[in-house]
Homo-oligomer: A and B are copies of this chain.
Amino acid sequence: MKNNGKKELPRIHTGFAGEESGYYFDVSQVLFEKQSSFQKVKVIQNRDFGRVLLLDNEVMTTEWDHFFYPEMITHPALTSHPAPKSLGIIGGGDGGVATEACRHTDLAEVIMCEIDEEVVKASREFFPKLSAGLNDERVTCVFEDGTKWLVPYQQHFDVLLVDGTDPIGPGIVLFEEAFYQQAKASLKPGGIFVQQVESPMYSRRCSDMAFELLFEDIVKRARTIFDQVHVYVVTIPSYIGCYWAFMYAGGPDLPLQPRDERWQRIAGQTQYYSPEIQQAAFTLPPFVKRLLSE
């Protein structure tokens, strides 16, 4: 039945080296492929998912489900902070986080530090809508190692978002105590730090995934640094595990509730985020609570 009468398409399999499961995509067209100094950047066309951005064979974003991740890493913090003026982004090379952030018209400054300029270039060309915010005059892109870039910033940001890769290889420094100390120091009083912290489903893998830092270990580590660390969960259909966690951290006066006057600035522009969805995302099921308390 498959591709009846049609040419057989080349098929790619995503997943870390050594994984024995993952997504497959039949490739209608390879739109872009380049080995950067850091990773292999690739954009393919797939019939079901549309355009897919892959970094070292891991799915970063797809046309199909592009909005879940950038909306949900950005808007909970920017809607709960009473008056965010300065935003820092580490990673976020596809531009999705910058685009969502720029919907908050009173934000004065967005500084994004992405290690790999090739990701930004590929996203500008092949995901123009997702990366549109990179053209906003409030956005500055710096191409550097995020941990080095952050050092001089002291009590500078109202919100700092980390849209990085998984905690393997060079990306692991963004999950270390030294980085969390820097991140804490970079925030103004009342500032909010948000980071993607893997999937609680990985803690449930039937196999040992020895190269991974588990979700609950990341959160427990951050709790030794920040006064408050909360967790919320988001479905990201194209990421294996699908059920991904974000860490929401800050000082004793960390703002947690979405503010209606801030939501009104972006209402009608989101596909997944709403203040009610924010409240729902912070509601953790028993198995996630157990992972965090054990």
Contact = CB atoms under 8 A, between A and B. Distances in A.
Interface of A: 1-4, 9, 11, 13, 17-26, 28, 46-50, 63-65, 67, 201, 204-207, 209, 235-237, 241-243, 268, 270-274, 276-277, 279-281, 283, 285-287
A64 B206 contact: yes
7 contacts: A13-B24, A21-B25, A46-B206, A49-B206, A201-B237, A235-B243, A276-B283
Contacts of A277: 283, 285
**Which of A22, A235, A236 has most chain B Cβ within 10 Å?**
A235
Given A9-B20, A20-B28, 11 more contacts: A4-B18, A21-B26, A23-B24, A48-B206, A49-B206, A64-B204, A64-B206, A65-B204, A272-B285, A272-B287, A276-B283
B21 A22 contact: no
Given A48-B206, A270-B286, A272-B286, A65 B20 contact: no
**Which of A22, A242, A287 has most chain B Cβ within 10 Å?**
A242
Contacts of A21: 23-26, 46-49
B283 A201 contact: no
Contacts of A242: 235-237, 242-243
B50 A206 contact: yes
